[in-house]
Structure 1
Amino acid sequence: MSRYGPTSNLLAGIPRASLQTSLENAQQAYLQLSAGGKVESATYTQGDGSKSITYTRANLAQLANVIMMLQKQLGIVCRPRQPIRIGFK
């Protein structure tokens, strides 16, 4: 498995402003799908042009992966919550 790098992934070379717009679109689609379960479209820009994807509630995990990929490319740190450990003495 290759390591993540901002210059060696599918989003490399896309302007930061385009990535930010794509992230906002994907997050809005995620919120709308989560709340109402309706079909939503998200548009993003890739090296070979603009793409549009339609998601349904069943695609929430896939949409969440797109959001995390965009966040990672933008340098937004998304760390999973750590378990709480309780110790008794």
Structure 2
Amino acid sequence: MQTPNSGILAGMSRVQLQAMLTQAQAALIELQMGKKGVSFSYTQGDGTRSVSYQPTSIADVSALIMQIQRALGIGGRRRRVRFRY
């Protein structure tokens, strides 16, 4: 299991992680609403150009969001509730 000080998020400041979390959450919303394109074409004076992006899944973006949240110390598992009589 990765800790906040290991993996691809190691060495990032809290501000950077929070900015990345905001971007990932916005991307997830757009992906779920079907607003993210994968391939684009346009024509310029000297010919046609195209740009393609690697498609991603909702599961991939959700996993990234959870990883960033763990690094920030939010959204983790809660302790078991114990009742005392």
User: TM class, shorter-chain normalised?
Assistant: 0.5 to 0.7
**How far does residue 12 in structure 1 lie from its aligned partner after superposition?**
1.0
Q: How many pairs are equivalent?
A: 63
**How far does residue 11 in structure 1 lie from its aligned partner after superposition?**
0.6
- Asked if the contact 2:69–2:75 (Cα under 8 Å) also holds between the matched residues in 1, the reply is yes
- Asked if the contact 1:55–1:63 (Cα under 8 Å) also holds between the matched residues in 2, the reply is no
- Alpha carbon RMSD of aligned pairs, Å? 2.3
**How far does residue 55 in structure 1 lie from its aligned partner after superposition?**
6.8
Measured against aligned partners, the alpha-carbon deviations of 1:41-89 in whole angstroms (never above 9, x if no partner) come to: xxxxxxxxxxxxx575x61111111111111111012449xxxxxxxxx
Structure of greater relative contact order (alpha carbons < 8 Å, 6+ residues apart) = 2
Q: TM-score, normalised by structure 1?
A: 0.59
Secondary structure in structure 1 of the residue aligned to 2:9: coil
- Asked if the contact 1:33–1:60 (Cα under 8 Å) also holds between the matched residues in 2, the reply is yes
Structure 1, unaligned runs of 5 or more = 41-53, 81-89
1:60 maps to 58
1:6 maps to 4
Identity %: 37
1:39 maps to 36
Q: TM-score, normalised by structure 2?
A: 0.61
Structure 2, unaligned runs of 5 or more = 38-52, 79-85
Measured against aligned partners, the alpha-carbon deviations of 1:13-36 in whole angstroms (never above 9, x if no partner) come to: 10110110000010011112212x
Q: Answer with 1 or 2: which has the greater Rg.
A: 2
CA distance in 2, matches of 1:71, 1:5: 11
Q: Runs of 4+ in structure 1 displaced over 2 angstroms?
A: 77-80
